[in-house]
Amino acid sequence: MIAMIVYFGWHGVHGDYGIRARLQFETEIGRLVEQRDAIVARRKELESRVALLQSAAIDADMLDERARANLNLAHPDEIIIYTSPALSSGGTRGLPETLAQAGSLSLQ
């Protein structure tokens, strides 16, 4: 009889579903809830960014212009005109070599 009480008591504390396992389960649940909340927040952020890319919300020409400037791309037959005041005032700095450099010129 005492052996049964000890057996069930030990498994009640140390077993797969005992008190110690319950604490581990609760810790794991807390970690997974935090991870889920981070994933949900990231998903909402991505959904809002995708909503900005809908055709009704963005001008296609502006998107094309920004993409070309950020990626430093231009068609071979295009003429690029720099409109920065630093370039038109005859400053000591030369023309930028890339579109990305042209976009990062400070306005003086």
Q: Final residue of a domain: which of 58, 78, 95?
A: 58
Task: Say whether both 24 and 7 belong to one domain.
Answer: yes
Distances in Å between the alpha carbon of 71 and those of 46, 63, 98? 21, 12, 10
Domain count, the chain: 2
Name the band, by pLDDT with cuts 50, 70 and 90, for residue 37: very high
Q: What angle do CA 1, 12, 6 make, to 5 degrees?
A: 25
Task: Say whether both 64 and 100 belong to one domain.
Answer: yes
Q: Under a CB-based contact definition with an 8 Å cutoff, are residues 86 and 105 in contact?
A: yes
Q: Final residue of a domain: which of 40, 58, 76?
A: 58
Task: Say whether both 89 and 108 belong to one domain.
Answer: yes
Domain extent at residue 74: 59-108
Task: Say whether both 52 and 63 belong to one domain.
Answer: no
pLDDT digits (tens, 9 = 90+) for 65-74: 778 878 878 8
The residue among 105 and 8 whose pLDDT is bigger is 8
Tell me the two tokens of residue 32: 């997974």
Task: Say whether both 15 and 47 belong to one domain.
Answer: yes
Q: Is the whole-model pTM more than 0.85?
A: no
pLDDT at 84: 63
Name the band, by pLDDT with cuts 50, 70 and 90, for residue 103: low
Predicted confidence (pLDDT) at residue 108 exceeds the cutoff of 50? no
Distance CA 42, CA 47 (A): 9
Q: Final residue of a domain: which of 24, 39, 58?
A: 58
Read off the pLDDT of each residue in 13-34 and give the average, rounded to a whole number: 89
Task: Say whether both 1 and 37 belong to one domain.
Answer: yes
Task: Say whether both 52 and 105 belong to one domain.
Answer: no
